[in-house]
Amino acid sequence: MKLQHRHFVIGITGGIAAYKTCELIRRLQDEGATVQVVMTESGTRFVSQLTFQALSGRPVYCSAWETPAQSGPANAMPHIDLTRECDAILVAPASADFIARIANGQANDLLTTLCLAREVPLFIAPAMNRQMWQNLATQRNIEQLRHDNIRLLGPDTGSQACGEIGDGRMLEPQSLLAELIAQFGPHSEHPLAANTPNIRGVLQGKQLLITAGPTFEPIDPVRGITNRSSGKMGFAIAQAAADAGAAVTLISGPVHLTTPTGIHRVDVTTAQEMHEAVKAALLDLPRDCFIGVAAVADWRPSTVGDTKIKKDSGATLTEIDWIENPDILASVAQQPNPPYCVGFAAESGSLNELEKLLPEKRARKSVPLLVGNIGETTFGEDTNQIMLCDENGTELLPTDSKSNLARILIFRIAQRLCNH
């Protein structure tokens, strides 16, 4: 169980997405965590206190003026006591009203009060109509939460209870669970994770261009070659860069991930499309830093079949003429006055082999910083282990969540940009 001995306060505000939180609580307990539910008064209008009490096995708190039965004297001051017992607070769903109140430091109910009194991380999972999410007032409040080092999870894009389609859906329970496991699961015990640097403002005013995910190279209308990259590392780095104050353009291959808030995303499919998008982005604005995280296919078929190649046609894959794709990272690094370039190299084999490969690859691509990892241990996972390679040699960082590693990497990049 990945969250054994972890305890979370789950805040529930007024929104139809509260029904999803029932599933989240069940999944958290399946992973060994314990859960204390705190609801706003409007939250109780959607799912009852009794439901969450039955699911969590604990009395549900709704008011600072009430002491639920069986809570005991230790919780005589719930807005203080509840925060001292937990590893983190997650508010899911977080309504536009709750976000506005917490962004402005209000403490007019139990949930906002304990959020102000906390000594633990606070995670917010927004859930609202797309127009409420896009409203300038909401976006100002979201930026304030980021500035206050409150972690935003989502929102997602899709159909909404009102019948409209767009941004504002609460993330699904499995996505919220994955984030908590990444932050508090077995790999988060490393000293490095406990000392993740404060990156607020370290890239303020900087323009970053980031690639993420795989590329897909078609062979015929229904087949193609790709790789197992999920895009999670690149998206985590984009989120960390935005949290650090940077303006971020994210060019992504085909992935099933939500765009981090405030980031301009460009979707592509093939390596050539990614290369063209990178060139266009560099022409559009001068960039301070380019981070090539995408796992770009090295080759593509010289021609794409107009119809599906049949098994009984006699054709074989060895008859396909393969040509090399452009090296996007090297092409950016070789430009006149290039941005500070950071590359990623996903290799197979052992860490010892990776340590031998990285210096030569860094020199060949002419980049100041190359980040290596072992593909088969990181593709699709929420954790990673990375090795940094620069002119001073290599440094292996302990296995950690991709979110934490992204923040550490952004901090290191910000330090290097100061001297670039």
State the distance between the two ends of the chain, measured CA to CA, in whole angstroms.
Answer: 45
Instruction: Determine whether 86 is an active site residue.
Output: no
Q: Among 321, 279, 278, 316, which Cα is nearest to 299's?
A: 321
The catalytic position among 22, 86, 115, 162 is 162
Residues 409/410/415/416 CA torsion (nearest 10 deg): 70
| Contacts (Cβ under 8 Å, ≥6 apart) of 54 | none
Strands 387-390 and 393-396, by their bridges, are antiparallel
Whether 287 contacts 209, CB under 8 Å: yes
Q: What is the DSSP letter of 295?
A: B
What is the enclosing helix (H) or strand (E) of 36?
strand 34-39
Instruction: Specify burial of residue 267 (Cβ count, 10 A radius: 0-12, 13-18, 19+).
Output: middle
Contact call for residues 219 and 305 (beta carbons, < 8 A): yes
C-alpha dihedral sign at 208, 213, 215, 216: negative
Where are the alpha helices (H) located in 212-336, listed in sequence order?
232-243, 271-284, 328-333
- Do 102 and 142 meet the contact criterion of CB atoms below 8 Å apart? no
| Closest CA relative to residue 85, chosen from 52, 53, 61, 54 | 61
DSSP per position, 46-92: TS-HHHHHHHHSSPPB--TT---TT--GGGSSHHHHHHHH-SEEEEE
Q: 356: which residues sit within 8 A by CB, 6+ positions away?
A: none
Separation of alpha carbons 143 and 222, rounded Å? 42
Among residues 297, 289, 255, 305, the alpha carbon closest in space to that of 272 is found at 297
What are the CA-CA distances from residue 326 to residues 76, 275, 288, 374, 400 (Å)? 65, 7, 22, 23, 32
Residue pair 111/40 in contact (Cβ under 8 Å)? The answer is yes
Determine the angle formed by the axes of helices 136-147 and 96-103, rounding to 10 degrees: 50
The residues annotated as belonging to the active site are 162
